[in-house]
Amino acid sequence: MKIFNTLSRRKEEFVPIEEGRVRMYVCGPTVYNLIHIGNARPMIVFDTFRRYLEHKGYKVDYVSNFTDVDDKIIAKAIEEGVTSEEISKRYIEECKKDMEGMNVRPATVHPLATQEIDGMIAMIRKLIDEGYAYNVNGTVYFRTRKFKEYGKLSWKNLDDLRSGFREIKVTGEEQKEDPLDFVLWKPKKEGEPAWDSPWSDGRPGWHIECSVMAKHYLGDTIDIHAGGEDLVFPHHENEIAQSECANGVPFANYWMHNAFLTIDKVKMSKSLGNFFTVRDIAEKYDLQVLRLFMLSAHYRSPLNFSADLMESSKSALERIRNAAERLGDLMKSAKDTEPSEEEKAMAAEAEAFVRKFDEKMDDDCNTADALSVVFELVKYANQHVNEECAAATVKVFADTLAQLCDILGIITEKKEEILDAEIEQLIEERQAARKAKNFARADEIRDELAAKGILLKDTREGVKWTRA
């Protein structure tokens, strides 16, 4: 299997540190708001890669953090007059709901930065002791020029970087020895969450969090470190500097970065305001449509969000689901006869589809081409598997389709799913019926929703609903 490694900018054969095992770390979101579908891209693509590694027989330790201490979280907490913890807890829960909706499996561990402060203090202390970091009035900086390999991931040259930085004077950071030095620990400002440390009451910088969480759960050298391409510099470059100076061994053997999800060819981001949350999409689509949309491009190619592409993903999903349903129906009536020679050849064909799928995925996780193989399989099954086939033959195709879809994390069962927007609309209609004293219609709507697993609760603030 080959992986494009950002470090070498080449596709490399994947060799794990330990046979049969993969240690993988994926940078997770900063939790101050609902995640947008740009944030969902790394979640979906690396979850798919994890599933594929497991299909190949690896045991995967998959760690993905939540950054739960950050300026944006603090700002949101101040805005709402609540604690930072309340904000981060709320959005971690919301993020987990979105992950479930997108069929992104929970990580082996989801560490929280705020629960790993001791490890961060230990690593910073070690970096200071060994001359890689220094404390100025309670702020600890990493001495970038001391790490000779700085720039190896982003392919940046230290001198170019330094001349680029010369003009920029960052307020409050004039005490740095070098403009390239970055913060490991910063003293608290009034009202901010803070922890005790040898240097000041304060909090860690963002980069040290991931270095420490990866070390804690996966060890000093990990197999794969992944995230969006905006993280290559400075986040991942800084993680490498900290980890390699503190641990004395390479940090990650393979670095994988997904390209951006764009909208009108511009990166989707919170700060630009050009985003859709996963929740927005869920109002209109089954989130499996979003998943299929994400997988329809190679993870290193930019992917532009559009209504047209979502519509074609929607019909693509239906095509898969119809085929799965048809095979399921055929199974029910198929006879337990011996498959004919022709059917044996068909079963061999099914195996060939799996091999082709694996080849595509082995080539740097090419989900776009792997998906095309799924559609070839669907087409073949639609054309060749019929009422004449033995149960064993139908089963080969039903299982193969289920297996490939499962690797991609695509749920093939048709759900009688009702979208949030439809629920809201029915609730409004029920309120109107009640107002018009049409209680029969109001009850009918309540029953209709109940049949779909939606429970209504009348409260003083209006009607609340939950999925059973």
Which residues are at the interface with Zn ion (CB under 5 A)? 27, 210
CB of 436 to ligand AMP, least distance (A): 46
- Residue 202 as a binder of ligand AMP (CB under 6 A): the answer is no
Q: Scanning residues 209 to 228, which ones bind ligand AMP (CB under 6 A)?
A: 227-228
Of the candidate spans 26-34, 88-96, 318-326, 384-392, the one that interacts with ligand AMP by CB under 6 A turns out to be 26-34
Element (H, E) at 329: helix 307-333
* Residue 210 binding: pick among ligand AMP, Zn ion, none (C-beta 5-8 Å cut-off by kind): Zn ion
Count of residues interacting with ligand AMP (CB under 6 A): 17
- What is the bridge-based pairing of β-strands 202-204 and 182-187? antiparallel
The per-residue b/e assignment along 308-345, b for 16 or more CB within 10 angstroms, e otherwise, is eebeebbebbeebbebbebbeebeeebeeeebeeebee
CB of 465 to Zn ion, least distance (A): 36
Cβ atoms 45, 259 nearer than 8 A: no
CB of 269 to Zn ion, least distance (A): 17
CA angle at 256 for the pair 251 and 258, rounded to the nearest 5°: 145
Q: Give CA–CA dist 23/36, Å, rounded.
A: 27
* Residue 322 binding: pick among Zn ion, ligand AMP, none (C-beta 5-8 Å cut-off by kind): none
Count the neighbouring beta carbons within 10 Å of the beta carbon of residue 461.
6
CB of 31 to ligand AMP, least distance (A): 8
Cβ atoms 324, 413 nearer than 8 A: yes
- Residue 139 as a binder of ligand AMP (CB under 6 A): the answer is no
Closest CA to 263 of 300, 295, 297, 303: 303
Q: Give CA–CA dist 240/149, Å, rounded.
A: 9
Burial tier of 102 (Cβ tally within 10 Å: 0-12, 13-18, 19+): buried
Among 4, 16, 24, 38, binds ligand AMP (CB under 6 A): 38
* Residue 261 binding: pick among Zn ion, ligand AMP, none (C-beta 5-8 Å cut-off by kind): ligand AMP
- Residue 260 as a binder of ligand AMP (CB under 6 A): the answer is yes
Q: Between 268 and 316, name the residue whose CB sits nearer to ligand AMP.
A: 268
Measured in residues, the chain has a length of 468
CB of 158 to ligand AMP, least distance (A): 24
Among 4, 24, 34, 41, binds ligand AMP (CB under 6 A): 41
Q: Between 134 and 276, name the residue whose CB sits nearer to ligand AMP.
A: 276
What residues make contact with ligand AMP under the rule CB under 6 A?
27, 29-30, 38-39, 41-42, 227-228, 230-231, 258, 260-261, 267-269
